Structure 1
Amino acid sequence: MIADTSPWAAFGILTAAALMFLLVLHAVTMAIGHRIGRYNVVDVSWGLGFVGISWLALILGPGDATRRWLLAALVTVWGLRLSWHMYQKSAGKGEDPRYTEMLERSGGTEIGIVARKIFATQGISQWFVSLPIQVSAVVDATAGVWTIVLVAGVVLWLLGFTFEAVGDAQLRRFKADPANKGKIMDRGLWSWTRHPNYFGDSSVWWGVWLIAASSWPGVLTVLSPVAMTYFLVFATGARLLEESMSKRPGYPEYQQRTSYFLPRPPRAGSESTP
């Protein structure tokens, strides 16, 4: 813990430590990606980066200890589950088409391009999205009515985590059944939204923001969950996945009857599609 410093001085030390941690994490991840010939390994370090920052905030932050422990616990559970899921998803497979297309548009796989377009972008994004955790770690305890905001944040995190974890598990079981080969997953949560994992991820980070916003000036970090939602919906998440999936038989029909992002009851005729 950083003692005898103002909150903003403590924040400066914490955010510098977070940036250094992310620099080392992505340098190692890029070296691993270069060695194995695929850079989608960065997806594994996505969750781990937030876990590391949450623990730096816990250790270095002079703010309310209860909130630091709470955020460290919630982010660790979310981040480790996500990183393990991404490792299982990508192990033994080739490069993610999203990164192949991104590098092709950017001029190739030269190390400078890879470092800038994939790893530096991810690292900066992690630092910015994690600002609620960092700011929350250097401010005082929640009191009075603001405790309701903190509780609401925990509830929203739980909703998001459940959506993301259950959605991933449902898709994994669906793909493991040979009878579903060539079919579109449109069951369970996937009949309510085409991207339950991305919706859950977004909800998790809005929950984290609410926990941080329960003490001033955490509310000022609102652009962090906005940025995360933008990444998931419009940048590297759902939009790119939709571009590739829309070419598969049955997916355009699935798009017509199932919500894009926000969950809602499936429209009529949402039976499984070959």
Structure 2
Amino acid sequence: MLWFLSLFVLGVMTVVMLAAWAFGLARKNGGWTDVFWTFGTGAALAAAALWPLGPGAMPQARQWLVAGLVALWAIRLGGYIAPRVAHHEDPRYARFRAEWGGDYARNMLFVVLPQGPASALLSLSVLVAARAPGPALGLRDLAGVVILLAAIAGEGLADAQMKRFKADPANRGKVAETGLWGWSRHPNYFFEWFGWLAYPVIGLDPARPLTWLSFVAPAVMLLLLTKVSGIPPLEEAQLASKGEAYRDYQRRVSAFIPLPPKTA
């Protein structure tokens, strides 16, 4: 059933991402890709988490809990991204549009479609947690809730600190080093990754080998955020716009995990 539900998520997200591609082309704004992915992934994973454990069975408390955690993540992240996308295109997609010219529509398919399989991989962790045996909720479920809430709070704080920094005209062209940004160059990404640890905390049972799949989502998110679509393109853009000031920031401040900054 785990693999069937993962394929279900893949199918749903393939349709969602094709819709995102078409909508982004129509609106001339590739940033809608991220909005569709976030809300689509949240809905697909929540639906998969609530899938009956057997014929005629009703969703159990843990299934509702896990579905709620996924929904909370999607609402928080999607609610943050959507208003920004509605006002202006994300610089990453604007750069794609400028670089690809007439090939933009075709090339965007290769950006959009792989996000469906990414959602399917994330679903493995969610499904292991949702389908963990035991009718009663316990301390591990509570720990998972605490982890996700802490991640949402941390990411929200980082976003708010950056928004406040950018709103001050005196900071134009400067590097943000206030609050969490003085301890991590990407605290929002760190907390985004941290939240996915809730699912192995809820679902891992070392005696059941299949439950080690609960670590797939944290591993996938770590790879994407630190090596693919998160930190690398953003730091490239920061270096291009801020130059030596950002290189100095890189030398002193941790890229991902919040740590005390190095002294000169």
Q: TM-score range by the shorter chain?
A: 0.7 to 0.9
Q: Distance in 2 between matches of 1:82 and 1:257?
A: 29
Matched, 1:265 2:256: no
Report Cα offsets for 1:93-130 as digits up to 9, x if no partner.
2353267349948993143x321x21111111111122
Higher mean C-alpha displacement, 54-63 vs 243-252: 54-63
1:152 is displaced (CA, Å) by: 3.5
Q: TM-score, normalised by structure 1?
A: 0.82
Q: Distance in 2 between matches of 1:223 and 1:58?
A: 16
Q: TM-score, normalised by structure 2?
A: 0.85
Correspondent of 1:71 among 59, 66, 76: 66
Map 1:99-138 → 2, pairs under 5 A:
100-101=95-96, 104=99, 108-111=103-106, 113-115=107-109, 117-138=110-131
Report Cα offsets for 1:122-159 as digits up to 9, x if no partner.
11111112211123334422789xx5544433333233
Map 1:106-255 → 2, pairs under 5 A:
108-111=103-106, 113-115=107-109, 117-141=110-134, 147-213=138-204, 216=208, 217-247=210-240, 248-249=242-243, 250-255=245-250
1:92 is displaced (CA, Å) by: 2.5
Could you list the runs of 5+ residues in structure 1 that have no partner in the other structure? 1-7, 270-274
Give the root-mean-square deviation of aligned CA atoms.
Answer: 2.8
Report Cα offsets for 1:214-266 as digits up to 9, x if no partner.
59433233233111111011111011111111221421111122111111123
Residues 16 and 37 in structure 2, CA contact (< 8 A), matched pair in contact too: no
Map 1:18-37 → 2, pairs under 5 A:
18-37=9-28
Q: Distance in 2 between matches of 1:16 and 1:178?
A: 48
Could you list the runs of 5+ residues in structure 2 that have no partner in the other structure? none
Q: Distance in 2 between matches of 1:154 and 1:99?
A: 37
SS at match of 1:163: helix
Report Cα offsets for 1:178-215 as digits up to 9, x if no partner.
22222211100101100011000110112223222259
Counterparts in 2 of 1:158 and 1:260: CA distance versus 1, 3 Å: same
Letter matched to residue 213 of structure 2: L
Q: Distance in 2 between matches of 1:148 and 1:102?
A: 49
Identity of aligned pairs, percent?
A: 31
Residues 46 and 70 in structure 2, CA contact (< 8 A), matched pair in contact too: no
Letter matched to residue 44 of structure 2: I
Give the number of equivalent residue pairs: 256
Q: Distance in 2 between matches of 1:152 and 1:214?
A: 15
1:51 is displaced (CA, Å) by: 1.4
Corresponding residue number in structure 2 for 1:41: 32
